[in-house]
Amino acid sequence: MTQFEKNLKKYAELLVAVGINVSEGHTVLLNIDVDQAPLARYITEAAYNRGAKKVVVQWSDDQISRLDFTHQTADTLADIPEYVVAESDYFIEEGASRISVRSTDPDLFNGIDSKKIAKRQKAMGIAMKKMREATQANRVSWLVAAAAGEKWAEKVFPHLETSEEQVAALWDAIFKSVHLYEDDPIAYWEHKVQILQNKAQQLNDEKFTALHYTAPGTDLLLGLPKNYRFEGAGSKNARGEIFVANMPTEEVFSAPDAHRVDGVVVSTKPLSYAGSILENMEFHFKDGKVVECSAEKGEEILKDLIALDEGASHLGEVALVPHSSPISQSGLTFFNTLFDENASNHLALGSAYAFNLEGGTEMTEAQLKEAGLNRSHTHVDFMIGSSEMNIDGIKEDGRRIPIFRNGEWAI
Ligand code: ZN
Ligand code: ZN
């Protein structure tokens, strides 16, 4: 076994142990690119070794996806057959744990008609409704993790000469971000989860009514619903088992009040969304709704996203990440939300997580909406943090408590 193979195997074991926390009798659903078959085999093996009953692999392929988007009409792309929905619903019924390993080229759909992308995104959002509701309420264990795809590595490390060097550098960055090089990565994660949960608890105890963001180009007042709950890594599924939904993760996050967001906010990192890159976005909010938005790159795709449904023009997530987070210190732009969101304060357009409200996972969709949690067929994070960002928490009596100063925790 080469050193890389040893690391890859260790990585697979970490995802299975900490990420979805596989134990006796579990069904595991793995979504992964064909180029990552060696990792898929290690994940499958690790899951069976921990007692999984069944591991099902769903393969994807960037090149075939691009061919599909090039040759199929928008209507064909938006026609999601019933068996696809039934399959997705079946795995939710089964209580299957889901691992999605992302390695996609951030520019995959560059040049593809944005209307096709928008139509497909919307159709998939509707078709996968049950799955989204189940994962957003943590009914099943789920994990988003990464693997170093060639095109993605080229985008992150353009100055390296060969594809081998680029891929090796990206793997190294991925391994570092999940603390794989620690003596005991599993113990390290237990400690990390505790630190993030303590921070979340502190924010919950303060019972803020709103957060006020200021930074160059940004002046945003963001209301929080009553009984909001910030969460850090480490969630509980319906069976009471602990899992970690994102690896890496550095954030603590909650749900904003979908109708109490006012002011202006600018993005500070590129966003890879639906195979396209969006840059230098600016959003104006009034009563929670985006009333005006622009982007220096990808504006049309951004406008299609905002128009996807009513909830797509409101916020569903508010996440805090210090500017000195390990991923931010790498100095890299990953063009991949799993990494870039964990290097920066961020917000998300679209659906809110039910568990971000006290008792939310027991509520119906209508009750969540009533409580101020945004509902939508989409959920897209965008990065707004920088070393110049200040955030105040506002209390019921109007008092202001510093939460962030110059991009770092102040609470
Ligand atoms: Zn987030
Ligand atoms: Zn998010």
Nearest CA to 145 among 337, 379, 352? Answer: 337
Q: How many angstroms separate the CA atoms of 218 and 390, rounded?
A: 10
CA–centroid distance, 47 to ligand 2, in Å, is 26
Assigned superfamily of 3-177: Thermophilic metalloprotease (M29) (3.40.1830.10)
| Tokens read off for 48 | 């069976």
CA–centroid distance, 318 to ligand 2, in Å, is 8
CA–centroid distance, 317 to ligand 2, in Å, is 6
List the domain boundaries for the chain. 3-177, 199-232+248-409
CA–centroid distance, 35 to ligand 1, in Å, is 27
Tens-digit pLDDT profile for residues 201-228 = 999 999 999 999 999 999 999 999 999 9
Q: Which ligand is nearest to the CA of 341?
A: 1
Question: φ, ψ for residue 162 (rounded to 5)?
Answer: -105, 160
Q: Which ligand is nearest to the CA of 346?
A: 1
CA–centroid distance, 320 to ligand 1, in Å, is 8
Binned at pLDDT 50, 70 and 90, residue 137 comes out as: confident
CA–centroid distance, 3 to ligand 1, in Å, is 32
Which amino acid, residue 93?
A: E
Nearest CA to 85 among 132, 32, 141, 138? Answer: 132
CA–centroid distance, 136 to ligand 2, in Å, is 10
CA–centroid distance, 347 to ligand 2, in Å, is 7
CA–centroid distance, 242 to ligand 2, in Å, is 19
* pLDDT number for residue 28: 98
Tens-digit pLDDT profile for residues 173-199 = 999 999 999 999 999 999 999 999 999
Binned at pLDDT 50, 70 and 90, residue 136 comes out as: confident
CA distances (Å), origin 115, targets 71, 77, 276, 368: 14, 11, 13, 31
Q: Which ligand is nearest to the CA of 342?
A: 1
CA–centroid distance, 352 to ligand 1, in Å, is 11
CA–centroid distance, 379 to ligand 2, in Å, is 6
Residues above pLDDT 90, as percent of the chain: 95
CA–centroid distance, 371 to ligand 2, in Å, is 19
Mean pLDDT of the chain: 96
Tens-digit pLDDT profile for residues 295-338 = 999 999 999 999 999 999 999 999 999 999 989 989 899 999 99
Question: φ, ψ for residue 16 (rounded to 5)?
Answer: -75, -35
Tens-digit pLDDT profile for residues 97-128 = 999 999 999 999 999 998 999 999 999 999 99
Tell me 141's DSSP state. -
Q: At residue 274, does pLDDT exceed 90?
A: no
Whether residue 238 contacts residue 245, with contact meaning beta carbons closer than 8 Å, is answered with: no
Q: How many CA atoms lie within 13 A of 30 on its CB side?
A: 30
| Tokens read off for 99 | 């691992």
Average pLDDT over residues 10-17: 98
Q: How many angstroms separate the CA atoms of 174 and 339, rounded?
A: 9
Tens-digit pLDDT profile for residues 45-91 = 999 999 999 999 999 999 999 999 999 999 999 999 999 999 999 99
Q: How many angstroms separate the CA atoms of 28 and 218, rounded?
A: 42
Cα 346 → chain centroid: 10
Helix ranges (H only) for 143-298 are 150-156, 163-177, 185-206
Q: How many angstroms separate the CA atoms of 147 and 161, rounded?
A: 20
Residues above pLDDT 70, as percent of the chain: 100
CA–centroid distance, 162 to ligand 1, in Å, is 33
Average pLDDT over residues 264-291: 96
CA–centroid distance, 317 to ligand 1, in Å, is 7
CA–centroid distance, 65 to ligand 2, in Å, is 24
Contacts of 137 by beta carbon, 8 Å cutoff, 6+ apart = 353, 354, 355, 360, 361
